[in-house]
Amino acid sequence: MISVKITGVDKLKRELDEAQRGLESLHGTITTVQLNPDDPASVRRAVQQMESAVDAKVSSYVGNPLVAKVAEMTKQNLRQRILARAKTPA
């Protein structure tokens, strides 16, 4: 008879549970930014504020690669939405 021991399942479950909580933290309103679409500095500040808000939402899950990836994708998406409203490049 061959005996096989599988390890790491508990760690994976913890990481997935953590990822679920981290992803849930990105649901709903993350922040509200105001910007002057004619002022590149205002647009840059709005992007920085949004990125800081996303980072703050997931700060408890920094070591989780899935949460980090989704947070980065969220920032990219929101950055594009902000830039689309700008009349001049930031």
Look at residue 90 and tell me whether its pLDDT is greater than 60.
no
Instruction: Find out whether 31 and 50 touch, Cβ atoms under 8 Å.
Output: yes
**In the chain, domain spans:** 34-90
Give, to the nearest 10 degrees, the angle between helix 65-85 and helix 9-24: 20
**Predicted confidence (pLDDT) per residue in 39-65, tens digit:** 999 999 999 999 999 999 999 998 899
Mean pLDDT over 34-39 rounds to 93
Mean pLDDT of 76-90: 85
Helix, strand or coil, per DSSP, at residue 79: helix
